Amino acid sequence: MADKDLGEELENIEEGVENLKNKEFKILGMKMTPMTIGAAITALGSVIGALYGGFLMYQKVEEVANLDVGAFEQRMELIEQKVTSVDDNIYAVKNDLKTDIRRIEEIVDDVERSTKQDLRDFAKDVKQIEKDFETKLRDALNNPLSDM
């Protein structure tokens, strides 16, 4: 190999590739070039891919067709009943809370009124006690010997 020139070897390889382009092969009784073989392999791959995709789609359609729609409808009706029940309970609790709040407000108002009245009565009693004390003190200061 050392005797051959590298340029000659490259030219030989190029010629072999050029000749391969035009070379015909006989496959299954038909003459084919490398280009037609590549095209045939591509077409075959496309057909196989399409068939596989169709098979997968068929499986998915079968799965959907085998679903029990009645069971889903029953389950949805049950969920709807539960939601309605929860909604009714919330409405009842809301009304009970409103009633409780109104009752508490009335109690607070009564306690406030009662407390205000008690404070007025207490202030009135304190004033009366102060008057009585002042009167007795004045009487005692004016007549110091009358208590003896």
User: 3-state DSSP: the chain helix, strand, coil percent, rounded to 5?
Assistant: 85, 5, 15
- Whether 14 and 53 map to the same domain: the answer is yes
148: pLDDT strictly greater than 60: no
24, 33 contact by CB (below 8 A): yes
Q: How many domains, in total, are found in the chain? A: 2
pLDDT band at 114 (very low <50, low <70, confident <90, very high): very high
- Whether 130 and 120 map to the same domain: the answer is yes
Compare 106 and 11 and report the one with higher pLDDT. Answer: 106
Find where tokens 């005692």 sit. Answer: 140
Query: Looking at residues 5-29, what average pLDDT do you find?
Result: 73
- Whether 79 and 123 map to the same domain: the answer is yes
Domain, as residue range, for 29: 1-67
Q: What is the pLDDT of residues 95-104, one digit of tens each?
A: 999 999 999 9
Query: Looking at residues 91-96, what average pLDDT do you find?
Result: 93
Q: What is the pLDDT of residues 23-63, one digit of tens each?
A: 777 777 878 877 788 888 999 999 999 999 999 999 988 88
20, 10 contact by CB (below 8 A): no
- Whether 57 and 111 map to the same domain: the answer is no
pLDDT at 22: 67
Query: Looking at residues 140-147, what average pLDDT do you find?
Result: 72
